[in-house]
Structure 1
């Protein structure tokens, strides 16, 4: 029962995380821009993840980055579906994807850390 609850928490957080990023990337490709806050201190700005991608030489508003968003997160959703179906290889794949997606600061980082912790608990609680 405990492992089942953890598994569904992973599926939920993974779907929210990768689903939102895929949506945001697809929206940026079709409409031309990512979702941005409309009010407050950060109105009109993209998140701190832009600093991470700029460090590696990618313009956060480029078509390349938008395509990477959609591709990366589509892979994340496919891996989430495989996790739901209990595929043997998927624990490692989801762990690696969650670790490699820590750059998506702030909401993605929080969800990915949550997923990593739950994945490790599942693996080592047998």
Structure 2
């Protein structure tokens, strides 16, 4: 996945989008803010991800999660038909993004944002969290 610093202009895809900011485009090479947020907000993010239509090509796997030793060989050899591999992979992978707006600013975040928050303690910017809280479902 591509790294973008939080709240920088969105530039992923065909062209830059005016008044759209990137949130949650994390990479192992860059530190990110950590903290706790309300579990109800994480659940709302999951619902927004489930209803999103912003699908991209390819599959991104969370860079912060280590593949269990028992599945490392399956992954390296590309034997992706293994059900145990998919069970591990599903909550740690994504192929799209959500968009939420507040005060004429739209935030674009990868589907992995709920995972990053819950598992890796990523703390998104407060304006994004307010936009999520107020977003219609």
* TM-score, normalised by the number of residues in structure 2: 0.25
**In proportion to residue count, which structure has more strand?**
2
* TM-score, normalised by the number of residues in structure 1: 0.26
